[in-house]
Amino acid sequence: MVATAHDNTGHAPSYYAHSANAAPERPSLQDNIEADACIVGGGYTGLSAGIALAEAGMKVVILERARVGWGASGRNGGQIVHSFSRDIDVIERSYGHAVAEPLARMMFEGAQVIRERVAKYSIDCDLKDGGIFSAISPRKAKGLIEQKALWERWGHPGLTLVDSPDEVRQWVNTDRYSALLIDPTGGHFHPLNLALGEAAALESLGGRIYEHCEVVKIERGEPAVVRTTQGQVRARYVIVACNAYIGDLEPALVAKSMPCGTQMIATEPLGALADELIPSDHCVEDNNFLLDYFRLSADKRLIYGGGVVYGARDPKEVKSLIRPQMLKTFPQLQNVGIEFGWTGNFLLTLSRMPQVGTLSPNIYYSQGCSGHGITFTHLIGRVLAEALKGDASRFGAFARLPHHPFPGGRALRVPFTAIGALWYQMRDQLGV
Ligand SMILES: Cc1cc2nc3c(=O)[nH]c(=O)nc-3n(C[C@H](O)[C@H](O)[C@H](O)COP(=O)(O)OP(=O)(O)OC[C@H]3O[C@@H](n4cnc5c(N)ncnc54)[C@H](O)[C@@H]3O)c2cc1C
């Protein structure tokens, strides 16, 4: 079975749509309504901010163009990876200790937010502890040693480096890796079911969610007016949380970021073979520039992702793109069927740091996690809520980072970035 555009759940087609928990399909907004906070986009950023605001007693409305979790939040690798897409030592070297320090203090908080929410609202999303970073060569293994030292410096104990072939195979049964870095506080989960559970949590707090509800204009003012195709919300505050699927809604946000596609496949259920592949049942990602990432699902499929398409044109044949990558890691899967293949978009920024800020005094945004967004989106939801409630100190720590456009502008940013990436791809292939 291949996920197609015809899945009747309204979720984006994927293995996750196939295995989604039952969730009500919400109506579109047909009226003129009011809210304290109107959030555009029903992914983790919007949901996380919505829950934090509703917990604080605010009246929250989320407007989602498709369904909750339709964007990257319902299609991703489901891997809890701490920190940001740009390592904090690079931020420190570029902008100084005073800028990096408050960000570093938040590097491990997003995972806590996820675990707290799952426990508090009894979210059924197959959450499991344990993550592994892997290196395909001794040169790449040095990167793991540096990462361990960096994270320990910022107060993250419990990491273990594994570098003998026998020991590596006890964690991940492949000859491909020279070394692993084990993080017991990493983890993985069913991403769409997390989003659906968070939506239910928000509604249990009185929040309202409208699906199939495209925002076409956000009018500045106090209150701001958020216009949809058939209704409008007058709100004291607006949060734009559309990430890579923003289209042309806010051109200023589009101009400084670039949507990129990444692809995933899911095998048929593997039964006992699954436990032989990843005896630890941790999720795994390598430390290449263009990385592979994989894990087992609750029903014992291997879910494997990789590849980047700059500019987010959907490739026609996802399975034939990703299967060879999977077989490089696990040649023992040669005869295993691939049942699902899908694609999704994340938002790249030039600095690889998320872009956070305001479009006017009461219109906030967060976007551009550049590939690692599961923990950041949960962190920033909390941080945005703090800002709307009057404490913008942690919001300011992100908002002060400069945002640069990609060289070449909208017309040439894709080829320029792809050419730049070739250099790193070649280094990946050489294992340096
Ligand atoms: C295939 C894939 C694998 C990934 N794997 C991982 C991983 O393992 N670990 C990790 O940390 N990160 C991963 N990521 C990144 C992570 O999924 C994202 O950073 C994160 O989900 C972004 O959440 P978001 O809420 O900001 O955006 P999204 O989840 O994309 O949500 C944005 C929402 O806004 C809605 N929207 C847009 N425009 C409008 C409008 N005008 N009106 C109304 N609604 C609108 C969209 O429909 C969409 O639902 C992956 C991403 C992809 C694509």
CA–centroid distance, residue 192 to ligand 1 (Å): 11
* 315: confidence class by pLDDT, cuts 50, 70, 90: confident
- Which ligand 1 atom minimizes the distance to the CA of 70? 49
The mean of the pLDDT values for the chain is: 93
The pLDDT of residue 364 is: 98
- Which ligand 1 atom minimizes the distance to the CA of 242? 34
**Residue identifier of the C-alpha nearest atom 21 of ligand 1:** 73
Sorted by where each begins, the domain ranges of the chain are 1-127+189-255+350-401, 128-187+258-348
CA–centroid distance, residue 178 to ligand 1 (Å): 32
Quick check: do 1-127+189-255+350-401 and 128-187+258-348 share a fold?
no
**Residue identifier of the C-alpha nearest atom 38 of ligand 1:** 246
pLDDT in tens, 86-145: 989 999 999 999 999 999 999 999 999 999 999 999 999 999 999 999 999 999 999 999
Judge if the beta carbon of residue 262 lies within 6 A of ligand 1: yes
Judge if the beta carbon of residue 113 lies within 6 A of ligand 1: no
Residue range 377-388: average pLDDT?
98
For 5, 22, 265, 296, 299, the CA distances from 338, given in Å and listed in that order, are: 17, 25, 7, 14, 14
Read off the pTM: 0.95
Find the range with the poorest average confidence among 115-124, 201-210, 302-311, 393-402: 302-311
The pLDDT of residue 7 is: 55
CA–centroid distance, residue 132 to ligand 1 (Å): 23
CA–centroid distance, residue 345 to ligand 1 (Å): 7
Q: Which of these CATH numbers, 3.50.50.60, 3.40.50.300, 3.40.228.10, 3.30.10.20, describes 1-127+189-255+350-401?
A: 3.50.50.60
**Residue identifier of the C-alpha nearest atom 19 of ligand 1:** 373
The pLDDT of residue 4 is: 42
pLDDT in tens, 5-40: 445 679 999 999 999 999 999 999 999 999 999 999
Distance CA 197, CA 178 (A): 38
CA–centroid distance, residue 186 to ligand 1 (Å): 20
Closest-CA residue to 114 (of 319, 373, 315, 300) = 373
Residue 56 has pLDDT above 50, yes or no: yes
Q: Which of these CATH numbers, 3.30.9.10, 3.20.20.140, 3.40.50.620, 3.20.20.20, describes 128-187+258-348?
A: 3.30.9.10
Neighbours of 221 (CB within 10 A): 11
